[in-house]
Amino acid sequence: MKQNELNTRLRKVRLVIFDVDGVLTDGTVYIRPDGRELKAFNVLDGTGIKYLQRAGLEVALLSGRRSSAVSVRARELGIKHVIQSSKIKMQGLDKLLRATGFSVDEVCFAGDDLPDIPVMRKVGVGGAGANARPEVLAVAQWVTDTPGGKGAAREVAERLLKAQDKWKTIMSRYDDVNSRRGKGRRV
């Protein structure tokens, strides 16, 4: 997809949906001897999600698996819409659209594996991390340079906010702090 068309689509986005395993994590699942599951989330991705929220965009998680770690991470980040155990992700997408009132054109979805393909084809922008399966990369309208679990969600957030001219607002928070401390002044 050409950059102009992608930016036009990104400007319409109001809801950003992330798959979890392979997008917000590297896909690794640790199982403790007591059977409990552990996942590693990247703080860069969490910061990107907070930037999306600060800019007024809604964020949701859509996962084919159920994990208490996902619920905890969503609570930490203030993500209200979390759908887990969604084996047929189009059903999860429909639930999210009903819950938020957004249209498919207003959705950006980031996925990495075969169950994500129908959602990626349906929404306004279907993105994939660099580590996505080849079939997913083939249908993605945009592929991050960063793999899932290593900052791909942060890359999605920054690209989206820049396309919507909201990145300056995010940066102004830090520019103000730096200028009050006498750092970062331009000569």
In a domain, 185, yes or no: no
**CA 135-12-19 angle, 5° bins:** 40
Q: Which two tokens stand for residue 88?
A: 């047929």
pLDDT in tens, 111-151: 999 999 999 999 999 999 999 999 999 999 999 999 999 99
Are 48 and 70 contacting, i.e. CB atoms less than 8 angstroms apart? no
Residue 174: predicted pLDDT: 83
In a domain, 128, yes or no: yes
In a domain, 174, yes or no: yes
Are 133 and 127 contacting, i.e. CB atoms less than 8 angstroms apart? no
Task: Answer with the residue of higher pLDDT: 33 or 176.
Answer: 33
With 70 as the cut, is the pLDDT of residue 44 above it?
yes
Average pLDDT over residues 84-102: 97
With 80 as the cut, is the pLDDT of residue 177 above it?
no
Distances (CA, A) of 67 to 10, 29, 31: 30, 10, 11
Secondary structure letter of residue 114 according to DSSP: G
In a domain, 11, yes or no: yes
Residue 27: predicted pLDDT: 92
In a domain, 161, yes or no: yes
Count: domains in the chain: 1
- Which residue segment(s) compose the domain that 139 sits in? 3-179
Measure the CA–CA gap between 157 and 167, rounded to whole angstroms.
Answer: 9
CATH code of the domain covering residue 85: 3.40.50.1000
Are 24 and 44 contacting, i.e. CB atoms less than 8 angstroms apart? no
In a domain, 28, yes or no: yes
* Residue 173, C-beta contacts closer than 8 angstroms, at least 6 positions apart: none
Secondary structure letter of residue 36 according to DSSP: -
In a domain, 120, yes or no: yes
Q: Which two tokens stand for residue 31?
A: 């199982």
Give the DSSP H or E segment for 3: helix 3-12
In a domain, 127, yes or no: yes
